Structure 1
């Protein structure tokens, strides 16, 4: 039985959906600060432990590509419940891992669950609030994207010396269990549909996107010719996926949306913003801990300052700047973020002056990043909830 759509998410529904949105994003930013500690504990180099970061994103990408098929086939409630359980299990395995292979495998499982969770949360929100309530729901479930970079590194940096890195992953288990308990009788029950699984689209999509992400993470460690060859092959396979998805009556990612230039442009900017923001989280953490020899809590505080700057920018974007054109706001945000990044990387020693420089630069980068990340999108790009409503409306039931 499907719950009738209301105009906004209830407090209890929000309490159920937010943990499964927040926890994966906190973990993805948390591990950047914990990486030196994890590598020491596992007895491996930082570059080896970084596989836990590199493998997470391709797994999440694969989960996103496959999520639409699973949502159609099994229903949103079942997919959300299953992925919440898998994420809790993977978090427990990360926290209990004693070897690098187990750590990397658990991170892959975490990433795959993360890829399924957000589409499931978005579809549940669309089912609950309907078209008229999508904008409010989007603002609510999009909040983790701003919170996670602020609190993930800060919590990790401050708490790692007090409780150890393992507890910071194991705590996901009771939180996920609480969300599952509260979800009873709250989430809509949408029956699965006997629709095509879309193997012909999913296989090239997963191979191409995972291959491209692997190439990006392996730049500098492989021969240039081999890197270019794999990148070219990945792009060709992604093109095959796009053509197959456009021709399919049951598209996986609804590639037809990218025919609109404003939507395609903003999505490209989102890709750049995501790469810049999450890439700098890792580089800053390693710079502070490895190059400057400071403890994890120092890196956590600086990244927390960056999150505070992003939060301040979000208030401006949702307030005085809400009617401004998104494109110049995003461009200005990227420039400001670049200035802040240069300021942090320019810190080559640790004293009173350079500490002040690092703090100010972190705030500046956060202001730029938040300005770019939270900018108001033009009407054709009002996010994945619109796409998912369109998708569910035209899928035969």
Structure 2
């Protein structure tokens, strides 16, 4: 792994990694806004179209699970090239799909490519700047993770009537081509080993994660008995995978990392951050359009303001907070996000004053979520060894995605008041802040020779 006294990404490689990061995230966040237009054109029921949404998410999960072993065998560079090319081609297939079946298959292919892209992006950055440079690097290339889900629905809502839903998928193609052309001669070759792919060994992990996420995402839409059965089978498969991975000389995901308390705590934080982030995105949309009776563009504007807050947090991370303890920032960010959420959820009617409160609260929440998300992505690199870094990208993405599924599912089935939901989110954030504070204290005592 390359190291430097002042490691940083150059402008060209930053552009390459940003392009490949932002496209899948915007794509996955705006698709829900496009579903009515797609349903109208295909004349298909909403339940059938949801296969294009859930299929994307589940395929992305499968891609993340096997991404680490593929990068070890073929290098992060080659995996990145293949996945960006695959994402561009599958986007074209979605845009030109003439039937619902082709649309769903193309979305699954898109999701699989997306699953490989983000771990490869993070590993390429780590190869270039080393673990010590990942905080600054992810403050830039990780930014799409906190602004795309907020801006995606707003972008889709404004553009779908103007240009049609197909163009919003086809636009991925030229951007993927630009990223591939710019990547020539700037991507590190990485390391290639003869480690077995062990894809058969990965099957229980893939099926377990896909089954668990399906069960969580199906809360409120499928029978409780079916959900519990699938969840139980998924947990058993995940246990089988973990035991096999621990005993294997060629681990797929290197789950032995969880034996270290700092790494396990960081992954818990990623899970909580994902739940709070994606849960509040959905809760704001439901509250504004349901409880407050406002149009979708109002909800989109509020989430856009939240995205601006997340953007502002990047400047703090690269500036005043660049040397701050990561876990102190994560804990503080969660508490700030909780305060912003309580402000939003306390709005019971829409007017000039309450609208201003909602805007300010979303800005505050975005600032907190941006800080804790970006630091959660990079903090894992601070608690592992260089040889363990290739697995970090997959683990952080799995935890953020799993947390997001849990958060949105909980919000989706919540029947109590909006204010009580705000307090629930605040309680979850407080748990995360406590865990972050404990890890910060442990590191302080270790550094100062007190433990």
Q: CA deviation at 1:176?
A: 0.4
Indicate the larger mover: 173-182 or 137-146.
Answer: 137-146
Q: Give the corresponding residue for 2:231.
A: 231
CA contact (8 A) 2:254 2:391 kept: yes
Cα distance between partner residues in 2 of 1:49 and 1:82: 27
Q: Give the corresponding residue for 1:247.
A: 247
Q: Give the corresponding residue for 2:445.
A: none
**CA distance change for structure 1 residues 19 and 226 in 2, over 3 Å: closer, same or farther?**
same
Q: CA deviation at 1:88?
A: 0.6
Matching of residue 30 in structure 1 with residue 30 in structure 2: yes
Q: CA deviation at 1:208?
A: 0.5
CA contact (8 A) 2:68 2:390 kept: no
Cα distance between partner residues in 2 of 1:92 and 1:377: 30
Q: CA deviation at 1:282?
A: 4.0
Unaligned runs of 5+ in 1: 393-397
What secondary structure does 2:154 align onto? helix
Q: Give the corresponding residue for 1:72.
A: 72
**CA distance change for structure 1 residues 391 and 304 in 2, over 3 Å: closer, same or farther?**
closer
Q: Give the corresponding residue for 1:119.
A: 119
Indicate the larger mover: 229-238 or 318-327.
Answer: 318-327
Indicate the larger mover: 9-18 or 32-41.
Answer: 32-41
**CA distance change for structure 1 residues 83 and 362 in 2, over 3 Å: closer, same or farther?**
same
What secondary structure does 1:365 align onto? helix
What secondary structure does 2:309 align onto? helix
Q: Give the corresponding residue for 1:103.
A: 103
Q: Give the corresponding residue for 2:310.
A: 310
Superposed, 1:254-333 pairs within 5 Å as: 254-285=254-285, 288=288, 296-320=296-320, 326-327=326-327, 329-333=329-333
Cα distance between partner residues in 2 of 1:135 and 1:326: 9
Q: Give the corresponding residue for 2:83.
A: 83
Q: Deviations over 1:323-363 (max 9, x none)?
A: 66555654554454445445556667655455445433432
Q: Give the corresponding residue for 2:399.
A: none
Matching of residue 181 in structure 1 with residue 174 in structure 2: no
Indicate the larger mover: 362-371 or 22-31.
Answer: 362-371
Indicate the larger mover: 236-245 or 297-306.
Answer: 297-306
Superposed, 1:154-193 pairs within 5 Å as: 154-190=154-190, 192-193=192-193
Cα distance between partner residues in 2 of 1:182 and 1:155: 26
Indicate the larger mover: 249-258 or 141-150.
Answer: 141-150
Q: CA deviation at 1:307?
A: 0.7
Cα distance between partner residues in 1 of 2:116 and 2:246: 22
What secondary structure does 2:251 align onto? coil
Indicate the larger mover: 6-15 or 209-218.
Answer: 6-15
What secondary structure does 1:55 align onto? helix
CA contact (8 A) 1:88 1:173 kept: yes
Cα distance between partner residues in 2 of 1:4 and 1:331: 31
Q: Give the corresponding residue for 2:53.
A: 53
CA contact (8 A) 1:8 1:129 kept: yes
CA contact (8 A) 2:134 2:381 kept: no
CA contact (8 A) 1:154 1:297 kept: yes
Q: Deviations over 1:290-324 (max 9, x none)?
A: 77665554333221111112223444455445566
What secondary structure does 2:104 align onto? helix
Cα distance between partner residues in 1 of 2:347 and 2:97: 35
Q: Give the corresponding residue for 2:195.
A: 195
Cα distance between partner residues in 2 of 1:44 and 1:291: 29
What secondary structure does 1:197 align onto? coil
**CA distance change for structure 1 residues 152 and 273 in 2, over 3 Å: closer, same or farther?**
same
CA contact (8 A) 2:326 2:379 kept: no
Unaligned runs of 5+ in 2: 393-451
Q: CA deviation at 1:106?
A: 2.2
CA contact (8 A) 1:123 1:388 kept: no
What secondary structure does 1:226 align onto? helix
Cα distance between partner residues in 1 of 2:146 and 2:63: 22
Q: CA deviation at 1:120?
A: 1.7
Q: CA deviation at 1:45?
A: 5.2
